[in-house]
A = this chain, B = another copy of it.
Amino acid sequence: MKFIIQRDKLVQSVQDVLKAVSSRTTIPILTGIKIVATEEGVTLTGSDSDISIESFIPCEEDGSENVEVKTAGSVVLQARFFSEIIKKLPMDTVEIEVQNQYVTTIRSGKSEFNLNGQDAAEYPHLPQVEEQNVFRVPTDLLKNIIRQTVFAVSTSETRPILTGVNWKLENHELICIATDSHRLALRKAKVEAENNITCNVVIPGKSLNELNKILDDTNELLDIVVTENQVLFKAKNILFFSRLLDGNYPDTSRLIPAESKTDITVTTKEFLQAIDRASLLAREGRNNVVKLATLESDTLEVSSNSPEVGKVVEQIQSNSIDGEELKISFSAKYMMDALKALEGNEILINFTGAMRPFVIKTLHDDSMLQLILPVRTY
């Protein structure tokens, strides 16, 4: 194998596949990056068995030359060293050449590295994904869907299925739900699906977080392929494979209240900042709880009390309060997470009493919903 490559393209691709490489792995060769050079270009692969990422650098792209392949071939190089070396090389191009015994020469200007490599034939094969169930989403919409749900997955392994996000596709509508059983995030989106396919899978939160990091914020369509135990995201020059979580996702539809007793509309930013301030003292107690009460004249009061440190109280002018008076306590962190995930300047909160879950939405937008279980303190 021998090729000359534009260094910035190589650095970007290595950064992408590196997201799948873990230093803690039981399969030693997975601490490496597989490099394959063919007539078409150079393909890099990183994997930790759960997530696999493949990045392709075509020889030519948009009329400019990225790679000149002298001899086709392949090798596996230590991911950490390879990525640090190419970042610090002195010139804009890099020559990579496999010598005897997989020792690989990396040349740039007067700098020459010889890295011990491994046989690419020993690198595990990527999952085989049959492209039967394919649907399409614009990349920027996918990034939003991930951002607005994945934060709500459980971080505890007591119910492993809750560490993933439930993706259900039916009638060209994708519904994504994440919950840690204290709060829930739901996002719906219309997607392009062939043959009106359906699916109901659970994607690990960690996979979605890594996927989000490597996707560009473009409106290009991205193909999503779902099989029984794998999902594949196909972006331009990037394939992202993730294993799916085993088991049935709980039915969350009954959790979401159909009616409400107190409805509040308030400016998102103002409300978020008041909760943030109140949480400064709440953080001292482990539960991070703030209180919300309705007052006269559409006024809200956010407060928190930490006997050892002090107390905080703040009034906010809401845009409207309809229905019953309310005093309720909840986690400031969950509320801030929910408010940051929602879009729009104004939010609507539907309460069904101080002991029932409540729902937060962007005003006049039903595609997103955040639900929080209150804490008993009043």
Nearest B residue to A274 via CB reads B111
CA distance A335 to B175 in the complex (A): 57
Distance, CA A115 to CA B306, complexed state (A):
10
Contact indicator B313/A85 (Cβ below 8 Å): no
Q: Take A110-B316, A274-B111, A315-B110 as given contacts and tell me if A280 and B88 are in contact as well, using a CB distance cutoff of 8 Å.
A: yes
Contact of A81 with B by CB under 8 A:
yes
List residues of chain B with CB within 8 A of the CB of A309: 78, 81, 115-116
Residues in B with CB closer than 8 Å to A23 are none
Residue of B nearest to A301 (CB): B110
A61 at the interface (CB under 8 A from B): no
Q: Is the CB of B314 within 8 A of A112?
A: yes
A367 to chain B, nearest CB (A): 31
Minimum CB–CB distance from A294 to chain B (whole Å) comes to 16
Q: For A85, what are the chain B residues with a Cβ–Cβ distance below 8 Å?
A: 277, 280, 312
Query: A183: shortest Cβ distance to chain B, in Å?
Result: 23
Tell me which residues from 46 to 76 in chain A have a Cβ below 8 Å from any Cβ of chain B.
Answer: none
For A81, list chain B residues within 8 Å (CB).
Answer: 280-281, 309-310
Q: Is A182 an interface residue (CB 8 A)?
A: no
With A and B bound together, what is the CA distance between A84 and B112 in angstroms? Answer: 50
Q: Indicate the member of A114, A273, A308, A310 with the most B CB atoms within 10 Å.
A: A310
* A103 interface residue per 8 A CB criterion: yes
Q: Mark A102-113, 1 if CB is under 8 A from B, else 0.
A: 010000001111
A276 at the interface (CB under 8 A from B): yes
Chain B residues, CB < 8 A from A312: 85, 111-114
A94 to chain B, nearest CB (A): 12
Residue contact B114 to A273, C-beta cutoff 8 Å: no
Give which listed residue, B90, B110, B116, B310, contacts A310 with CB less than 8 A: B116
| Secondary structure dominating the interface of A | mixed
Closest to A316 in B: B110
Does A340 reach chain B (CB closer than 8 Å)?
no
| B310 and A112 contact, CB distance less than 8 A | no
- Residues of chain B lying within 8 A (CB to CB) of residue A78: 309
Residues of chain B within 8 A of A311, CB atoms compared: 113-114
Contacts of A115 in B (CB 8 A): 309-310
The verdict on A256 contacting chain B, using a C-beta distance below 8 Å, is no
Most chain B Cβ neighbours within 10 Å, of A85, A103, A111: A111
**Bound-complex Cα distance A89 to B277 (A):** 7
In the assembled complex, which residues on chain B have CB atoms less than 8 Å from the CB atom of A84? 280
In the complex, A310→B89 CA distance in Å?
A: 16
Complex Cα gap A89–B280 (Å) = 11
Closest 9 A/B residue pairs (Cβ)? A115-B310, A111-B314, A113-B312, A110-B315, A114-B310, A114-B311, A116-B310, A88-B277, A84-B280
Other than A81-B309, A89-B277, A112-B313, give 17 A-B pairs with Cβ distance below 8 A: A81-B281, A88-B280, A90-B273, A103-B310, A110-B316, A111-B312, A111-B314, A112-B312, A112-B314, A113-B277, A113-B281, A113-B310, A114-B311, A114-B312, A116-B308, A116-B309, A116-B310
What are 22 A-B residue pairs whose CB atoms fall within 8 Å in the complex? A81-B281, A81-B309, A81-B310, A85-B277, A85-B312, A88-B276, A88-B277, A88-B280, A89-B277, A90-B273, A90-B277, A110-B314, A111-B274, A111-B277, A111-B314, A112-B312, A113-B277, A113-B281, A113-B311, A113-B312, A116-B308, A116-B310
